[in-house]
């Protein structure tokens, strides 16, 4: 009984902090730092205290910031990161709050919506079916579609839509991205989305296939339907059984809306003012394009698997020749799923992700076994991610991201 007054005081203090998020984050960082300071790698301390602004005044000492400071600046309640070095997960850590309503903190198991990082993982389904002889990358996709087909028009009369075009955003298909649906909105079927009966236009070809690169979430929604038609399985089931579990991604799901078994570890989403979205997050029937719930640690497994096969592993999810195609530029610096970039002769595969209230980035080296994945539960996560990537790149000497040096009077 002697401790009851203290318990009541602590309870009131925590309640006060919960009501004032800008005070809660530094308090949580303090507690986490005290708990982890004896066992954390020096990498972690250096990076989380070495964030760099996008612009640095030329000729002046570099100014660094803590991750806690910049999370508060950008109104980002929660963040999770994983770093891969030489083909192994080097470290992973969560920061801040996953759900201000419950006080749930972000840890390495907290699920975030991957946004468009769903696409390169989903592309593995097509490549695996190609490997099994059930699909061909270069034939008319309408050969595989029964319930719904790509509408024929003047563009498709000249060139047909292929899976290669859909994966590389060169099929001439419209609909850049998807806003998702609130919990109170009617949730359309995949065919309804394709027909334009949801909150986006009908998915169709409005540019000559093969005539150039243009990003299209609509294209990925078409191949989602192809996978379902060819396998006879719901897309989320096929992905779980044939892609995610074989990769060891047991804490990931394409279920939309997300199933109850996953929700206790799912982060809420936050707008540009740091306010929680109504209903906590949006739902996405466009699963291949935007429907993956996952963690940076899980996406690290995807990166490592691709790097290992690229290095010659013969018994991986895909054969080396298919990964070689996946990482070969088709058009617009894009492969079959991921974006590609050459940095001083080093090949990177990468993808960003943006759903309502979630902002993420994945960058991996094809041949060096290094990667970094950052996921945030906020609409303003991009600036924070860039500054964090500057810190990661500077610490490891990876050359993937660096501030721009500007005249002192021009620096922010």
pLDDT tens, the chain, 412 aa long: 444 444 444 454 455 455 555 445 545 554 554 454 447 899 999 999 999 998 877 877 888 999 999 999 999 999 999 999 999 999 999 999 999 999 999 999 999 999 999 999 999 999 999 999 999 999 999 999 999 999 999 999 999 999 999 999 999 999 999 999 999 999 999 999 999 999 999 999 999 999 999 999 999 999 999 999 999 999 999 999 999 999 999 999 999 999 989 999 999 999 999 999 999 999 999 999 999 999 999 999 999 999 999 999 999 999 999 999 999 999 889 999 999 999 989 999 999 999 999 999 999 999 999 999 999 999 999 999 999 999 999 999 999 988 887 776 655 5
| Nearest by Cα to 225 from 259, 189, 258, 252 | 189
Q: What is the pTM of this model?
A: 0.89
Which pLDDT does position 55 carry in this prediction? 85
Helix (H) or strand (E) holding 90: strand 88-99
Helix or strand (DSSP H, E) at 349: strand 346-355
Strands 358-365 and 78-85: unpaired
pLDDT of amino acid 378? 98
Q: What are phi and psi of 25, to 5 degrees?
A: -60, -50
Under 8 Å CB-to-CB from 210, ≥6 apart: which residues? Answer: 159, 165, 170, 171, 172
For residues 399 and 343, the answer to whether their CB atoms sit within 8 Å is: yes
Cβ contacts of 207 within 8 Å, gap of 6 or more: 155, 172, 174, 214
Q: How far apart are CA 40 and CA 165, in angstroms?
A: 45
Compute φ and ψ for 320, nearest 5 degrees: -55, -35
Q: What pLDDT is stored for residue 21 in this prediction?
A: 52
Cα distances (Å, whole numbers) of residue 70 to 14, 22, 303, 332, 375? 23, 11, 27, 33, 15
Architecture of domain 113-379 in this structure: 3-Layer(aba) Sandwich (3.40)
Cβ pair 320, 282 in contact under 8 A: no
Tens of pLDDT, residues 351-397: 999 999 999 999 999 999 999 999 999 999 999 999 999 999 999 99
Residue 298, token pair as written in the block: 């899980």
pLDDT score of 403? 85
Token duo for residue 238: 């096929």
**Distance, CA of 69 to CA of 355 (rounded, Å):** 24
> Domain extents for the chain?
113-379
DSSP letter for 241, please: I
The helix/strand/coil state of 38 is: coil
Euclidean distance between CA atoms 329 and 338, whole angstroms: 10
């Amino acid at each position: 009984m002697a401790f009851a007054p203290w318990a009541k005081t602590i309870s009131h203090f925590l309640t006060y902090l919960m009501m004032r998020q800008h005070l809660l984050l530094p308090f949580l960082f303090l507690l986490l730092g005290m708990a982890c300071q004896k066992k954390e790698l020096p990498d972690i301390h250096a990076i989380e205290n070495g964030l760099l602004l996008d612009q640095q005044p030329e000729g002046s000492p570099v100014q660094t910031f803590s991750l806690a400071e910049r999370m508060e600046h950008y109104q980002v309640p929660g963040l999770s990161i994983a770093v891969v070095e030489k083909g192994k997960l080097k470290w992973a850590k969560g920061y801040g709050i996953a759900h201000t309503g419950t006080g749930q903190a972000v840890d390495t198991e907290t699920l975030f919506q991957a946004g468009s990082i769903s696409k390169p993982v989903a592309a593995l389904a097509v490549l695996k079916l190609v490997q099994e002889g059930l699909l061909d990358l270069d034939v008319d996709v309408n050969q595989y579609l029964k319930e719904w087909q790509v509408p024929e028009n003047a563009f498709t009369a000249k060139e047909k839509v292929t899976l290669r075009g859909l994966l590389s955003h060169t099929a001439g298909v419209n609909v850049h991205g998807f806003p998702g649906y609130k919990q109170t909105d009617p949730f359309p079927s995949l065919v309804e989305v394709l027909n334009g009966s949801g909150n986006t236009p009908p998915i169709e070809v409005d540019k000559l296939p093969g005539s150039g690169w243009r990003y299209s979430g609509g294209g990925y929604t078409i191949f989602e339907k192809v996978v379902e038609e060819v396998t006879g399985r719901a897309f989320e089931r096929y992905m779980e059984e044939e892609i995610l579990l074989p990769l060891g991604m047991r804490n990931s799901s394409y279920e939309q809306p997300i199933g109850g078994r996953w929700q206790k570890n799912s982060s809420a989403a936050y707008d540009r003012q740091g306010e929680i979205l109504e209903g906590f997050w949006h739902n996405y029937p466009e699963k291949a394009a935007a429907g993956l719930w996952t963690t940076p640690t899980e996406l690290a497994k995807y990166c490592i698997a691709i790097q290992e096969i690229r290095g010659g592993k013969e018994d991986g999810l895909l054969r080396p020749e298919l990964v070689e195609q996946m990482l070969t530029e088709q058009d617009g610096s894009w492969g079959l799923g991921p974006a590609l970039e050459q940095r001083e002769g080093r090949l990177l595969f990468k993808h960003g992700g943006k759903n309502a209230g979630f902002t993420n980035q994945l960058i991996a080296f094809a041949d060096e076994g290094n990667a970094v994945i950052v996921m945030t539960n906020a609409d303003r996560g991009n600036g924070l991610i860039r500054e964090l990537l500057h810190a990661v790149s500077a610490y490891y000497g990876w050359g993937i991201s660096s501030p721009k040096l500007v005249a002192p009077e021009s620096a922010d």
